[in-house]
Structure 1
Amino acid sequence: MGGQGLLAAAGSAGGAPIDQLAILAFVYIGGTGALVWLIRAHRAGRTQVLARVATATSFVFRAPGWSALPVLIAAGSLLLTMGGGFWDIGYHIDYGRDDGPLGNPGHYPLLIGFFGTLAAGILCIGLADERDRSGHWIRITREWHVPIGGALLIGCSAFGLTALPLDDVWHRIFGQDVTLWSPTHFMLLGGATMSVIAMCVLIAEGALASRNRPATEQPSGSPWARFELLGPDRPIARFEFFRGGEFAARAGKAWSKIQRFALLGGMLVGLEAFLAEFDWGVPLYRQVWQPLLLMAFAAFVFSAARGWAGRGGAMGAWGFYIVIRSAASLIPVLAGRSLAVVPLLLVPAICVELVALRVSPRTRPIAFGALAGLLGGTLGFAAEYGWSNLVYPLPWGPDLIAEGLISATVAAISGGVLGGLLAAALRRELPTPRAARIACIGAFAAFIAIGVSAGLRELPVADVTVELTNVSEEPRREALATFRIEPASAAEDANWLYMLAWQGGPGTQRIVDRLEPVGDGVYRSTQPIPLHGSWKSGLRLQQGRARGAVPLRLPTDSELGGAGAEVPTSFTLAEGPDIFAGASGAELPAPASFTRPFLEDGLIMLRESKGDVPPWLWVASASLIALIYGVFITGIAVGVSRLARRSGPAQTVAAEDDVAATAATRRGLGPSVA
């Protein structure tokens, strides 16, 4: 494909409009330049703006400003990213494609949030105070060293931002892949989610710096928090809260825990966003992925929270998770989009707390994580099985139990081990390098192996005869459908068998209709199916490893190939792929009766994907991004390990809490001034 083709305006079915990309580049580059100028002025002593803001946040968060201010900005930015992400997903499910990065309202908080996270990392290295330097800091110049957390935050946000132009190039080469699980979308999600680990590292570095700073000559009754209204020469007014040494000490310990709860609970929200398609009932991957990833993510986060925040850490992280995730579900609803259900994940948190009563997460982090994952994966799967049958659009059934329970348990053990190691690193109490390395590599290997197994699938070999009974006529035609599947055994004990209607346009919401069985291999819809406008509809089936879909009606799409072609109403399995490859934009009508086979989901759900791209090009491109992803994860692991190995004497969780309590009884934890 020539460069001219890549640069040409590709319309909403391909790359974004060039003018919108230029605007984004100008804003991002200009904003970064302005921030760098401000930091240079700060370090040269020409402005006190950053110093004053850092001072205020240091008093509130009881940490140096180079730690407190970036964490505050990054946390707010990630909340914006989360809200925009759920808004954007709901937009694509209900409306379809957008008109570029500036043509979708959900993109604006996303774009602001990504830049805010990058800005937080840049501020951290700009505010870094040489008085707080530790052995793990990274050298920039002879007189300028920066916290590893700031470097990780820049790396994570840059990784996510790099996905934005790569995503556009991907669309121009392969067509829009309107699925959450595309290689470049994984980069976006991964960059945002892993930023929380960088923030955790910054919190740990701030606690270490606070401990190492000498106590100021300050009476024990100093305030817990202080705010000042700044004047030209001196403060106009000062407000002090929670005076008194004992109360301040208790507040400091509680505040330290709350920060950790919030960070890790928010991280679980970000990780669970990888499964948003399941939450909306439009997954493009087998159902076993849902319990596999849910239990892995829960075990990882709750083990890390219990090991780092101490007793109650897992439950505290769960509390923040459920509040933030519930709020995220409301955002698309308030915008008029479909509702995404909230996975409960309460039982895995309880299991982690119970295991910690018998196995210390401080002295035996690997064993603790493995046992927490084992218990959380098994009991958590059982509990989520029940929850799914109450609220999930596609509930888990008996056919999932065998593969799902094994996959969820293995993945949860892997996640628990990694979570235990993360907490140990944040406490600077990692096991020996050999033990940590073997546990980390083993956990990743087990997770990848179970993921490969979950990725195996095949196509259902069955035909479906559809009979439609109109309940309203054109131009807003709707109909009830009866589906006769032959052979009937193809749908027995299915993971899911449902009718999906999606992308109906403004004022519509996707429809998930779990069909009513009325005979041997015969099923009937329980609500009218929209067969007009931009609505797309199809019958979806997964039975074990077999997964496919039967298209009912697809509208004309003038921006795709073969939009004017005539497509037969009935066709065979041998004819189907060629029909959709050669005329992906043609209308597929829905007459009163027709017979069609199950096809690959992607032919229907991903109409925008280009079918004329050589398979080797897709494999090579995906492999390159996977390699980049591997380097990214390795970099995070190395950074976290550097914190643990090169920070001096180890600190226990209790000691770090005492640091926060001690800091709360004295003033002047120290703004981050150069």
Structure 2
Amino acid sequence: MLDVLRPLERAIAARTRIPSWAVVMQVGGGVALVVALIGFVWDVGWHADLGRDKNLFTIPHLMILAGLLGIGASGAAAIAMATLGEAAGGWRWRGLHIPYSAAALTAFGAGAVAGFPLDDLWHRTYGIDVTMWSPTHLLMIGGASLSPLALALGAGEARWPDESGFVRARRYLVAGAVLIGLSTFQLEFDMGVPQWQALYQPVLIAAAAGIGLVGARAWLGRGGAFFALFMFWLIRGLVALLVGPVLGHQLPHFPTYLGAAAGVELAFLLAGRVTPLALAVLAGLAAAIVGLPAEWLWTHLWSFQPWQPRLLPMIWLPLLASVAGAVLGLAAGRAWRPAPAGLPRPAVPLAAAVLVAALVAPLPRTSISASASLSAQSAGAPHGFAPDRSGVPTLLQDYWIE
């Protein structure tokens, strides 16, 4: 069956110094991620402006589904190409050559696609939710958002030639995609419809900066954080213009990350000969110390939720998330090169645990006890039936709510 793809594998191998499986994974996965990103931002804008949809298969939903299927298919196609080319490295299973990065991309795609029918089941069972952060939504979003990490790992695993020109530009593009993926969890804040505590916004920004920008600097060398940031601005800006002015929805905003990128570059420049762990901690601290004030100012210039002084007592939490993210980012960036991380063995799992704790800490809601009473009375006669999202005939009736 794989022999059908052999001419394509040979054609790619003859025209590039990059293994055919890596080319297929990068091109296919990249296109799929762009489709999924546009559909995702469009879908959130749709719901923010128009409320719940009556049809599961809207255009944004179909774009999301197509993108998620494309992610998984790109990983599977990469495995097929690696098998035909008898790629070195990775796993061997029943005659298949499975690169680690292709396996990760396939798993991310499969998990994200599985979230689509589970989401419909969730709504049928528990009703319609109004947040991005429901379990099934996070399964879909997480699968797509983490896929750029697999693409970056694929660049190191395939040992892309370290040269200037188009190949280096592709590295910048993948590094920017990693930062975009890590930032998608903030989209409720970007669209002005947050359903969760305000503290989550600086925590999520700090975590994304720590992982994405430190990873880019460790992978790309001097200026890497700025190159990744430029790609982030370019792609998020184009998607914002498409969803906003072109498609007629709320213009999505996004964090600047400029202060964090400057802090990361400064830390790498001035750190000198220190251990990798010390470098990661310094970079995470610098990203937070320089980046958080810059983001605070940015929220007052171009954000739906300007940060308020009441966040200050908990500002240590984004600082902690930035440092933990920086340790993970340094380990990831060196894996993408590839090169030894040089970190103590417990550092990565400990940083992951600290980051999870930083994400859980803002979860408890602080609010006052309140009670309310609602009364409804019909505002005219019923005017027919219509099926709801589950296909159940529902009476159309207008009500006054007091």
**TM-score normalised by the shorter chain: which range applies?**
0.7 to 0.9
Query: What letter matches 1:337 in structure 2?
Result: H
CA 1:109–1:559 in structure 2 vs 1: closer, same or farther (change >3 Å)?
Answer: closer
Confirm or deny that 1:341 pairs with 2:253.
yes
Query: What letter matches 1:304 in structure 2?
Result: G
**1:258-407 correspondence runs (5 A):** 258-333=169-244, 334-359=246-271, 364-403=275-314, 405-407=315-317
More helix by share: 2
- Please say if residues 288 and 400 of structure 1, whose CA atoms lie closer than 8 Å, have aligned partners that are also in contact: yes
Q: Deviations over 1:7-50 (max 9, x none)?
A: xxxxxxxxxxxxxxxxxxxxxxxxxxxxxx5x34235xxxx245
- Please say if residues 81 and 113 of structure 1, whose CA atoms lie closer than 8 Å, have aligned partners that are also in contact: yes
Shift of 1:360: 6.3
CA 1:76–1:95 in structure 2 vs 1: closer, same or farther (change >3 Å)?
Answer: same
- Please say if residues 32 and 68 of structure 2, whose CA atoms lie closer than 8 Å, have aligned partners that are also in contact: yes
Shift of 1:131: 6.3
Question: In 1, distance between residues paired with 2:349 and 2:319?
Answer: 18
CA 1:276–1:257 in structure 2 vs 1: closer, same or farther (change >3 Å)?
Answer: same
More strand by share: 1
Shift of 1:273: 1.5
CA 1:369–1:159 in structure 2 vs 1: closer, same or farther (change >3 Å)?
Answer: same
Q: Deviations over 1:615-638 (max 9, x none)?
A: xxxxxxxxxxxxxxxxxxxxxxxx
Structure number with bigger Rg? 1
Aligned with 1:412 (options 319, 322, 332): 322
Aligned counterpart, 1:533:
none
Question: In 1, distance between residues paired with 2:308 and 2:98?
Answer: 51
Q: Deviations over 1:527-552 (max 9, x none)?
A: xxxxxxxxxxxxxxxxxxxxxxxxxx
CA 1:387–1:296 in structure 2 vs 1: closer, same or farther (change >3 Å)?
Answer: same
Aligned counterpart, 1:138:
91
- Please say if residues 299 and 415 of structure 1, whose CA atoms lie closer than 8 Å, have aligned partners that are also in contact: yes
Query: What letter matches 1:350 in structure 2?
Result: A
Confirm or deny that 1:125 pairs with 2:37.
no
Aligned counterpart, 2:376:
none
Partner SS for 1:145: strand
- Please say if residues 150 and 198 of structure 1, whose CA atoms lie closer than 8 Å, have aligned partners that are also in contact: yes
- Please say if residues 54 and 388 of structure 2, whose CA atoms lie closer than 8 Å, have aligned partners that are also in contact: no
- Please say if residues 9 and 84 of structure 2, whose CA atoms lie closer than 8 Å, have aligned partners that are also in contact: no
Confirm or deny that 1:73 pairs with 2:28.
yes
Shift of 1:122: 1.3
**RMSD value, Cα:** 2.8
Aligned with 2:123 (options 162, 167, 171): 171
Shift of 1:100: 3.4
- Please say if residues 196 and 267 of structure 1, whose CA atoms lie closer than 8 Å, have aligned partners that are also in contact: yes
Question: In 1, distance between residues paired with 2:212 and 2:236?
Answer: 15
Question: In 2, distance between residues paired with 1:113 and 1:311?
Answer: 33
**1:485-504 correspondence runs (5 A):** none
Question: In 1, distance between residues paired with 2:281 and 2:287?
Answer: 10
CA 1:154–1:40 in structure 2 vs 1: closer, same or farther (change >3 Å)?
Answer: farther
- Please say if residues 365 and 424 of structure 1, whose CA atoms lie closer than 8 Å, have aligned partners that are also in contact: no
Q: Deviations over 1:388-414 (max 9, x none)?
A: 0111112111111221x2111011011
Aligned counterpart, 2:375:
none
Aligned with 2:69 (options 109, 115, 130): 115
Query: What letter matches 1:359 in structure 2?
Result: A
Question: In 2, distance between residues paired with 1:398 and 1:94?
Answer: 29
Question: In 1, distance between residues paired with 2:19 and 2:85?
Answer: 11
Partner SS for 1:106: helix
Shift of 1:279: 1.2
Partner SS for 2:195: coil
Structure 2: gaps (5+ residues)? 373-378, 380-385
Query: What letter matches 2:292 in structure 1?
Result: F
Partner SS for 2:270: coil
Matched length: 386
Aligned counterpart, 1:442:
350
Of stretches 384-393 and 423-432 in structure 1, the one that deviates more from structure 2 is: 423-432
**1:213-292 correspondence runs (5 A):** 252-292=163-203
Query: What letter matches 2:60 in structure 1?
Result: G
Q: Deviations over 1:176-199 (max 9, x none)?
A: 212101111111111112111111
Question: In 1, distance between residues paired with 2:8 and 2:283?
Answer: 46
Residue identity (%): 31
Q: TM-score normalised to the size of structure 1?
A: 0.54
Shift of 1:206: 1.8
Question: In 1, distance between residues paired with 2:205 and 2:23?
Answer: 31
Query: What letter matches 1:141 in structure 2?
Result: R
Question: In 2, distance between residues paired with 1:199 and 1:389?
Answer: 35
Confirm or deny that 1:452 pairs with 2:360.
yes
Question: In 2, distance between residues paired with 1:339 and 1:278?
Answer: 12
Aligned counterpart, 1:567:
none
- Please say if residues 365 and 421 of structure 1, whose CA atoms lie closer than 8 Å, have aligned partners that are also in contact: no
Question: In 2, distance between residues paired with 1:91 and 1:198?
Answer: 29
Aligned counterpart, 2:42:
87
Confirm or deny that 1:183 pairs with 2:135.
yes
CA 1:389–1:432 in structure 2 vs 1: closer, same or farther (change >3 Å)?
Answer: closer
Shift of 1:262: 0.9
Structure 1: gaps (5+ residues)? 1-36, 211-248, 465-474, 476-556, 565-584, 591-674
**Higher relative contact order structure (alpha carbons within 8 Å, sequence separation ≥ 6):** 1
CA 1:207–1:282 in structure 2 vs 1: closer, same or farther (change >3 Å)?
Answer: same
Aligned counterpart, 1:197:
149
Q: TM-score normalised to the size of structure 2?
A: 0.88
- Please say if residues 260 and 305 of structure 1, whose CA atoms lie closer than 8 Å, have aligned partners that are also in contact: no
Question: In 2, distance between residues paired with 1:92 and 1:358?
Answer: 46
